[in-house]
Chains A and B, each alone.
Chain A
Amino acid sequence: MNKTPAISDAEWNSNQTDSAKQTSGRVSSVRYTTILLLGAYFGVVLSKAEAVCWQRIHDMFLLRDPHLYYVILTAIVVAMISLQLLKWFRVKTVDGSEITYKPKPYHKGVLIGGVLFGAGWAITGACPGPVYIQLGAGQWLAGVTLLGAFLGMYCYAILKSRLPH
């Protein structure tokens, strides 16, 4: 009854992946532009919040200046409420998928790595975002911070299997 020639599973799959690749290829240039613009937005916002300044971060840890505590708390509340609203109104992502979250797991690294990260944050006056922002703004010393971060990440890559998780 069905006159269409049978397509093997392998062929069908390869056709599927090809078209999927083409679609994602077409989407991604737009997507990457969006992500670039959102990065620039966030770079401007963190700069104007002064979350990129060593002195501000030092004053935060000295409990001398509540500015950044307020910024972080407001940001968390705003992010939390907006995610709830998006779910409430069943807003879809640009992919057409539901708003979901893949939870980051708990392990000992959350504690040990967390404390080490905090120490680095206090010493350099920058977390990962501000490192790139400082570099972009022409603060070349941040290149040393980025080099350190790269070495630290590499060291973790080497030691990962031997560290408690």
Chain B
Amino acid sequence: MLDWIREPWPWWVSGILVGLIVPLMKVLAAKDFGISTSFQELGAVCSPGSRLEYFAKFDKRANLWTLVFVAGLAAGGWIASHWLSAQPIEFLPNSYQGTSGAIKLLVGGFLIGFGARYAGGCTSGHSITGIANLNMPSLIATICFFAGGLGVTWGLGNWLF
């Protein structure tokens, strides 16, 4: 009877549940939902006594929750793939197994980390929380996210993928 839950969820179910994370985080945890600050927290925790202002002036205690949240994300990924999926979730294409794939992931990951922190947020903090709060820079950031993604896919797609 609950078979549908183990299939991919339709866009409207997914969209509603994704959107609800913003009020849930705000009311139950008094936090503005956003994920890429966890990178900065990781950096600050891993380099205590760093003279880099980006880490030294960052409140590690007040942002510890970002690491707790991403630990939850990992747990959620485990739950979804082990208990809530009829077929295994295919995260990455087979072509990414191997050295060239690893290099792509390393370079792509670098762009994610650098870009998200330079832009001041990612798809969660800018595209969802920011736009939902009618924050104009977040809309501009989101347009740029899609410009970058569409540009790479259409411009370098034949060579990259």
Chain B minimum-CB-distance residue to A135: B74
CB within 8 Å of A: which B26-53 residues = 26-32, 35-36, 38-40, 42-43, 52-53
CB within 8 Å of A: which B79-93 residues = 79-82, 84-85, 89-93
0 or 1 for each of B84-124: is its CB under 8 Å from A? (1 = yes): 11000111110011000110111111111111111111111
- Given A83-B23, A111-B140, A111-B144, decide whether A74 and B15 contact each other with a Cβ distance below 8 A: yes
A88 within 8 A of B: no
Please count how many residues in chain B sit with their CB below 8 Å of the partner chain's CB atoms.
116
0 or 1 for each of A39-67: is its CB under 8 Å from B? (1 = yes): 11111111111111111011011100011
Supply 16 further A-B pairs (C-beta < 8 A) apart from A117-B115, A157-B43.
A41-B76, A51-B18, A79-B19, A99-B27, A106-B140, A110-B144, A114-B140, A117-B144, A121-B145, A122-B149, A123-B104, A124-B109, A124-B112, A135-B77, A148-B109, A149-B116
- Residue numbers of B with Cβ under 8 A of A are 5, 8-9, 11-12, 14-32, 35-36, 38-40, 42-43, 52-55, 64-65, 68-82, 84-85, 89-93, 96-97, 101-102, 104-138, 140-154, 157, 160-161
